Structure 1
Amino acid sequence: MQTEFVITAGEQPKRLDIFLVNREPNLSRSAIQRLIEQGRVKMNGQAAKPSQKIKPGDRIAFDIPKAEPLELKGEAIPLEILHEDDHLLVLNKPAGIVVHPAPGNWAGTLVNALLYHFEHSGGTVSTIGGKERPGLVHRLDKQTSGVMVIAKRDQAHRHLASQFKHHSITRVYEALIWGVPKKGHGLIELAIGRDTKERKKFSARTTNPKESVTEYKVDRRFGKLAAHVLLYPKTGRTHQLRVHLTSLGHPILGDPTYGGRKVTEIEGIEIPRVMLHARTLGFQHPATGETHEYTRPLPPDMVEVMQALEKLVPQKTTKGV
């Protein structure tokens, strides 16, 4: 795919590879550097180097070859299945697994695990998501754990997707955050979209803002260092909870993308990943109309961080608002 553009006025001088990484969120820095080394990136008509500095007025042209995945294959990756019938499957996704294949992650994903499961159980999966996202009605970030629903039939997929679209799904998340909000309970209303400067991030600094609403409740305080919060998203934007908590000044622990280095370690406690867990998911069953609700407690890594925080400030740990 050939792309050509001119660096706009106001753009700060920076390395070409860093600029392109921010502009092309689906490509890693190493992938960008490979394209440059292959001669697929030109600056002002000349072959470019990764370290070249861009400036306003520079004309950039680059060619991204279409990424074609190998035929997706099932992989024997363990699944914690909470419920399964002819129409859908509910599971508890562990942190660290990517939900669907994409450039750089054609294998080892949740989809690969699901394909293996259905191949060996004789089940079907919805085709609406296409060959790369079969059955996926929604998704969780790689580092987020928790409850997900998978559609096994197209009719179930459409029914569940409609519930997500109209926000009739019950969703409760848990997070460990940096610092403690002044208000014990509140509503965050902040329209967000893809960031205009850093294309891998989402923020209010965007040309395409979309309404985003999150209710939060402080469940436990760890002195002034951190807090355990319950989150009730009223909309389902990409990175919504991470962006909204950062807008309060309380990014999620273990999320350097939005919180910087300060959230990766707190008073000597190393934070292993983004401390976010999709605890509860409730929906209307597409075939029976009955309400189904599934809850999974915090995974061990989040429990361990909470216990470490409690030991750090035992006399200051408080429960509730």
Structure 2
Amino acid sequence: MDFEEKIIVVDEGQSPMRIDKFLANKLFQVTRNKIQNGIKNEWVTVNGSLVKANYKVQPSDEIIMQIPLNAEYDGVVLPEDIPLDVVYEDEYLLVIDKAPGLVVHPGTGNYTGTLVNALVHHLQNSDLPVLPGNSMDRPGLVHRIDKDTSGLLVIAKTEAVLSHLAAQFHEHSVQRRYQAIVWGQPDPADGTIDAPIGRHLKNRTMYATYDQEEAELAKNAVTHYSTIQSYYYVSLIECRLETGRTHQIRVHMDSIGHTIFNDEKYGGDQILKGTVFNKYKQFVENCIKICPRQALHAKSLGFVHPVTEKPMYFESPLPADMQGVLDKWDKYVEDRIDKFEN
């Protein structure tokens, strides 16, 4: 996503005013609703710190707002006949196995062709509940996964179910496990990453970890990981989320030197482990062609059904692109062992 940066220094004689109203008066081409959404998306800072929409500007405040380019969108979600892999559905909710490359909800540059457009078509209903604090283009969504992450999502059909599921996520009682291919071999093989995550200070489309002393810049984030199998220069790991921050696994694994394979945003599309030989470089490039996205998959999802109160648990097999990469690395390891044994 590309941004235009606006910097505004509040006049010395300015009386206290809500920042969303102040910016709407200053930025005539940006609606107050878009400004409020920008504040929620953490695209607005005052004197280098994030604020809420009810913050009242003070004289000499320096306000920086990142405005998404080409962001013309009226917020109406149109139904689209896009195939969905529905693994469970009843009158209260449904669980979807999202394919990689499918954007979850409309946004800058992706106003159509999203999972939400498909969902409205599938349910023949555009009047799905919206979580408080979310915009109207996120009906039914309790949680999200990135465009290029595959795997399981639960969708609520009623407001009561949405609230109940949201509470389970807030209480960290939802079981979520992801599998990822990462560069290198984690040491220790199993561990916990406890590092707050917040917006990257220089690139607002990225996130970064912060020291506990800098916690005011970020939100608490905890990831438990375990190594399933190593392939010399990459490993298949499983992650259990204790919190659900944006890009959490991607940022946490990168922070300990084990970036997710082919995660372009965090440098995983570069050769981070291995040899300098051209043959190896070609091998890695072939793996990237097989899995042209970050190798991250939301493998399992467990929660209590808000109405029946029965435990629900779902698993999704590793997608073909990630499995294809592992098959190639498995053959690579086998050939390497044969070479040294013979």
TM-score (norm 2): 0.71
- Match among 291, 296, 311 for residue 276 of structure 1: 296
Pair 1:60–1:258, CA change in 2 (3 A):
closer
Deviation readout 1:11-34 (Å, 9 max, x if unpaired): xxxxxxxxxxxxxxxxxxxxxxxx
Pair 1:263–1:84, CA change in 2 (3 A):
farther
Pair 1:249–1:226, CA change in 2 (3 A):
same
Checking the alignment, whether the CA contact within 8 Å between 2:80 and 2:121 is kept in structure 1 is yes
Question: What is the distance in 1 between the residues matched to 2:164 and 2:241?
Answer: 20
Question: What is the distance in 1 between the residues matched to 2:178 and 2:258?
Answer: 16
1:58-137 equivalences in 2 (<5 Å): 67-69=72-74, 71-119=76-124, 125-128=128-131, 129-137=134-142
* Secondary structure of residue in 2 paired with 1:313: helix
Match of 2:255 in 1: 247
CA RMSD across the alignment: 2.8
* Equivalent position amino acid for 1:194 in 2: R
Question: What is the distance in 2 between the residues matched to 1:208 and 1:229?
Answer: 29
* Secondary structure of residue in 2 paired with 1:164: helix
**Correspondence 1:237 to 2:251:** no
Deviation readout 1:114-146 (Å, 9 max, x if unpaired): 010011xx7963244553000000000000000
Structure 1: segments with no counterpart, 5+ residues: 7-58
Counting matched residue pairs gives 263
Question: What is the distance in 2 between the residues matched to 1:288 and 1:133?
Answer: 25
Match of 2:194 in 1: 189
Deviation readout 1:90-110 (Å, 9 max, x if unpaired): 010000010000121110000
- Match among 124, 144, 151 for residue 146 of structure 1: 151
- Match among 298, 304, 317 for residue 318 of structure 2: 298
Checking the alignment, whether the CA contact within 8 Å between 2:303 and 2:313 is kept in structure 1 is yes
Match of 2:330 in 1: 310
Deviation readout 1:137-174 (Å, 9 max, x if unpaired): 00000000001000000000000001111110000100
Deviation readout 1:75-97 (Å, 9 max, x if unpaired): 11001111111110101000001
Match of 2:223 in 1: 214
**Correspondence 1:227 to 2:235:** yes
Structure 2: segments with no counterpart, 5+ residues: 10-62, 273-280, 338-342
| Identical-residue share of aligned pairs (%) | 40
Q: Which moved more, 1:200-209 or 1:190-199?
A: 200-209
Once the 2 structures are TM-superposed, how far is the Cα of residue 267 of structure 1 from its aligned partner? 3.5
1:37-48 equivalences in 2 (<5 Å): none
- Match among 280, 283, 308 for residue 288 of structure 1: 308
* Equivalent position amino acid for 2:287 in 1: E
Deviation readout 1:212-232 (Å, 9 max, x if unpaired): 110100000102x10000100
